[in-house]
Amino acid sequence: MTEAKKPEILAPAGDPYSFMAAVAAGADAVYAGLKHFSARMLARNFSISELAALAAVARARNVRTYVAINTLLKPDEADKAGRLVLRLAEDVGPDALIVQDLGVAAIARQAGFKGELHLSTLANVSSPTGLSMMPSLSVSRVVLPRELSIDEMREMAEAAPEGLSLEAFVHGALCYNVSGRCYWSSFLGGKSGLRGRCVQPCRRVYEHRGQKGRYFSCQDLSLDVLTKALLTIPQITAWKIEGRKKGPHYVYHTVAAYKLLRDAPDDASAKKMATSYLEQALGRAVTNYNFLPQRPKNPVDTKERTGSGLPAGKITRGIKSGQWNLSARVALLPGDLLRIGSEDEPGHRVVKVTRSVPKSGRLTLTFTDAPRPESGAPVFLIDRREPALMEKLRPLEAEAAKIPEREAKPVEFTAKLPKPRKPARAIEPLFYSVWRHPDMRKEKGPFGVWVSTKRAHNLPLGRAASVWWWLPPVIWPDEESEFVSLIAAIVSRGGKRFVLGAPWQTSLFPKAAKGVDFWAGPFCNIANQVALGELARLGFAGSFVSPELSGEDLLSLPALSPLPLGLVHKGAWPLGLSRVLSGEVKTCLPVISPKEEGLWAVKYDRTYWLYANWEVDLYKHRDELVKAGYVVFADMREPLPRDVARKDRTSHFNWEVGLL
């Protein structure tokens, strides 16, 4: 009997030392980002020449290199992305590209990239039927959402077509919102997580019912010994460790731990050693989240710290002005990085240790700049460059240094863009509202309705042919069959126009369905003409575009598009969607940020939606948008809870500030 192939240990790398630490610890593959088009733009990231040398060192040891080009492309970035892929293929030779944008996948094929294409968790393939579309997109691996249980992963694996593999997260930071379904940072401050620039508003302190807490800040995921269950699912070919902003210490210890757990799952001493490695990895407090369906754990626990790093003590004011003392709970080494307090607290800073400090020894710190930390502020060890680890990395560093730097030759690439459609003459744009609970007495013309299995009895099936049916942005495996049945009922009653929350939701429809028009919804995050060309190839009738685009990009896109376009120009836009809500937060009651920004949570089906108490409003730009060529405009009508006050301010998203 042939032994099943072991899943690869896939390690993160945000800088050269982390990359080398992954190789030294025995990773099977390393994923990294460049200085452009990476969903972790706040990591140091790599130049192509730098990554080329490291990939060569890895290749000599049969370690694969994957490169993340996993951000949205704006309308004018297709050629730039293509040149990047060509340079990567020629100089780095990555084994795979990790993508979320359909346009990037198409451009990679145009550029002749011969490696694999892996679909990022940001693309949100959250239910089994969607996997059937992957071969048509040349995708050979899908990265599963972090929110899935082991049973749901099995469902996904059973649905995977032959040749498609799956990748599961086993360790690292958790986002509060579902990946690819978070607009919090963009909506509040113009910095989009879909472009790798999230400022992590979920980590802040908020006030709710008179109490302050980090109500959306998650613990880290750590499956540790539970990963043994993943070994029984052969379609899961990779265990992914999150952490491209982490240092080499974290990477080395997590890789070493999961390698032990994979290779010796029944060895008690190996498990003990792996657990010890993970305890030293300098992460947050950990949780196994939803992995065990019979014992799910809420990753938001306000009683647990959610700042990264190993607790190293608290600082107290010294006798002299400007001096603080730390009684170290752990031994400190020269070069260690300490974080004092949290990023949203006064006096927060990161300091480097300059001398050895034994456990319980005292470290004196001097701060002359304001604001200064408060006495009693917690201190965390967030990175370590211990001599033993750096000694292991020196041979790899020397080997990489010997590889001659390739001359950066000019690369020519012009993307093959889809042919723009010919706009219909004197077309009258359609304006309609999208409702949770439509009042049938007031709706005379076309309107939109959210499809909900929990509220199926309220759906206007009698007017199915004239309704625009909106599917939710996330459908989980445990609710997919309910949506399949409900969609079949809507189609049988004459339903024709469906706005999808993800392109792969076409697989939810009966194969015999005729006369059905699919529109990609705004949560498909479509932002460029190449992605629109892919939708046209897949048979879509039209597409809403991402509201995150700048005004300039929004106005330019219709003239480039092969499909009719729509836009959410008004109404309630969610900050994000999540599978969990802190037990201390009550739905439909206000949660207030330090900047007096109000928001609330509401549950629809099996997903929590988080809304701000002010709306998107591009109404004053309506004439410009109509003139540019938009043909459908949606107004998202969300019931405002009784206890939530509507704020006068409105959001233009990135209309003026631009999408970085």
Closest CA to 147 of 119, 166, 126: 126
The pLDDT, as a whole number, for residue 307 is 78
**Whether residue 495 sits in one domain with residue 365:** no
Peptide bond preceding 446 in cis form (omega within 30 of 0): no
**Whether residue 120 sits in one domain with residue 241:** yes
Query: Which of 316-325, 347-356, 569-578, 640-649 is predicted with the least confidence, judged by mean pLDDT?
Result: 316-325
Query: Which of 9-18, 39-48, 104-113, 261-270 is predicted with the least confidence, judged by mean pLDDT?
Result: 39-48
Decide which of 383, 411, 445 is a domain's last residue.
Answer: 383
Which residue has 């011969």 as its token pair?
114
Report whether pLDDT(524) > 60.
yes
The pLDDT, as a whole number, for residue 1 is 33
Report whether pLDDT(305) > 90.
no
The pLDDT, as a whole number, for residue 415 is 95
606 falls within a domain? no
**How many domains does the structure of the chain reveal?**
3
414 falls within a domain? no
Instruction: Give CA–CA dist 150/171, Å, rounded.
Output: 15
Which residue has 């269950």 as its token pair?
229
Reduced to 3 DSSP states, what percent helix, strand and coil does the chain have, rounded to the nearest 5?
Answer: 30, 25, 50
453 falls within a domain? yes
Which residue has 């304001």 as its token pair?
370
**Whether residue 243 sits in one domain with residue 321:** no
Closest CA to 513 of 539, 480, 477: 539
**Whether residue 494 sits in one domain with residue 370:** no
Q: Are strands 497-500 and 141-143 parallel, antiparallel or unpaired?
A: unpaired
How do residues 358-369 score in pLDDT, each as one tens digit? 999 999 998 888
How many Cβ atoms sit within 10 Å of the Cβ of residue 86? Answer: 19
What percent of the chain has pLDDT above 70? 97
Mean residue pLDDT across the chain: 93
**Whether residue 464 sits in one domain with residue 444:** yes
20 falls within a domain? yes
In which domain, by residue range, is 258 found?
A: 8-174+219-282+389-402
How many Cβ atoms sit within 10 Å of the Cβ of residue 392? Answer: 16
**Most confident of the following: 301-305, 338-342, 429-433, 443-447:** 429-433
Q: Are 248 and 389 in contact, with CB atoms under 8 Å apart?
A: yes
Question: 206 vs 122, 182, 525, 590, 650, CA distance in Å?
Answer: 26, 18, 28, 10, 21
What is the CATH number for 514?
Answer: 3.20.20.70
Report whether pLDDT(3) > 70.
no
**Whether residue 394 sits in one domain with residue 365:** no
Query: Which of 133-147, 219-233, 449-463, 565-579 is predicted with the least confidence, judged by mean pLDDT?
Result: 449-463
Q: What is the DSSP string of 315-353?
A: EEE-SSTTEEEEE-SS-B-TT-EEEES-TTSTT-EEEE-
Q: 3-class SS at 593?
A: coil
Provide mean pLDDT across the span 89-97.
96
Which residue has 């959610």 as its token pair?
306
What is the CATH number for 356?
Answer: 2.40.30
Q: Are 377 and 349 in contact, with CB atoms under 8 Å apart?
A: no
**Whether residue 257 sits in one domain with residue 108:** yes
**Whether residue 377 sits in one domain with residue 394:** no
The pLDDT, as a whole number, for residue 574 is 97
**Whether residue 159 sits in one domain with residue 51:** yes
**Whether residue 259 sits in one domain with residue 339:** no
161 falls within a domain? yes
Report whether pLDDT(58) > 80.
yes
**Whether residue 440 sits in one domain with residue 348:** no
How do residues 282-303 score in pLDDT, each as one tens digit? 988 899 999 999 999 999 988 8
What percent of the chain has pLDDT above 90? 80
**Whether residue 109 sits in one domain with residue 29:** yes
